[in-house]
Amino acid sequence: MNFKNFGFDSSVQSALSELENNGRIPHAIILESENKDTALDAAKYLAMYAVCPQSDKPCGTCIHCKKASLMSHPDISYAYPEKKSKTYSIEQIRSITKDAYILPNEANAKVYVFEEADNRLSVIAQNSFLKLLEEPPKNVHFILLCENAQRLLVTILSRCTVVRLNQKAKIDEKSLENAHQIVNGIISSREYDLLIALNVLSDKQISDETLFAVRILLRDGLAISVGGDFLLDGITGKKLASRFTKEQIIQMIELTQSSAIKIKQNININLLTTWLCGEYRRISWQR
């Protein structure tokens, strides 16, 4: 990837370079950033990368790159909600779906960028969009910009490569360690291990970040079980994928997400951890 003259800082550069594999980028990418401008700049850059025919791309000087930087390339679309609406309509997603299967006009690839996808894609729109992600047309890239990717459905998340663009938003070591203990507790068949690991949630300062990390680890398991890429930890992901079915992992992610919400609602923590432990175990025993 050529970063000369693009002005990204080193953390963004390294996050974006992770996307490149053999001169290609994934067909579905989520760029997560608290800063909308950073996310949009990164999306523009990736779109340019996708349409630039040069080997050291994006070259920044060819006709494709120039059009891309002016946001006037016919094969790069920025989806905006229709007038007065805050969200994408189902019709919009349907017309994008149709359009995505039409060959590119000038470049060898097509790109669709969705800004504020976590706010603008309703659950119905996401389900409709999911079909497109399941059978992606060739050489088409979808780039979803989010402030918090966890707001999207796990089924969408599991099919996308998620990139966090702010260094600040990286998970701190303590939370990650806690999350590993919880996930190892879920994988092990000893109830006591899981209950002990869940005790860390009593510290409200770190419970949110810990559960966030648990979701990412579970998501890695889901990604590996559907042949996708992991974000944090491939080894734990493989253990999860071999121990549980895709459906079980999805249920666990949803459970984790709902307990994070419960903690915010000031539920009694001892009750929550006991309940959560029971629920994780109930899901893991399902056949």
Interface positions with Zn ion (CB under 5 A)? 52, 54, 59, 62, 65
| CB closer to Zn ion out of 51 and 162 | 51
| CB closer to Zn ion out of 59 and 196 | 59
| CB closer to Zn ion out of 67 and 215 | 67
Distance of CA 137 to the CA centre of its chain: 20
| CB closer to Zn ion out of 19 and 65 | 65
Distance CA 195, CA 231 (A): 26
Q: Put residue 184 in one of left, alpha, beta given phi > 0 → left and psi -120 to 50 → alpha.
A: alpha
Which of 199, 216, 219, 212 has its CA nearest to residue 276?
Answer: 199
Distance of CA 155 to the CA centre of its chain: 10
Distance CA 180, CA 128 (A): 34
What DSSP element (H or E) covers 169?
Answer: none
Min dist. Cβ of residue 33 to Zn ion (A): 24
Min dist. Cβ of residue 184 to Zn ion (A): 47
Min dist. Cβ of residue 249 to Zn ion (A): 40
Min dist. Cβ of residue 51 to Zn ion (A): 8
Min dist. Cβ of residue 113 to Zn ion (A): 18
Min dist. Cβ of residue 144 to Zn ion (A): 24
| CB closer to Zn ion out of 67 and 120 | 67
Three-state DSSP state, 143 = strand
| CB closer to Zn ion out of 59 and 100 | 59
138 contacts: CB under 8 Å, gap ≥ 6: none
Contact 240, 221 (CB under 8 A): yes
| CB closer to Zn ion out of 59 and 187 | 59
Min dist. Cβ of residue 42 to Zn ion (A): 17
Q: Which residues lie across from 24 on neighbouring strands?
A: 21
Contact 31, 145 (CB under 8 A): yes
Which of 230, 253, 92 has its CA nearest to residue 161?
Answer: 230
Min dist. Cβ of residue 2 to Zn ion (A): 9
Distance CA 74, CA 94 (A): 19
Planar angle of CA 281, 283, 286, nearest 5 degrees: 110
| CB closer to Zn ion out of 27 and 57 | 57
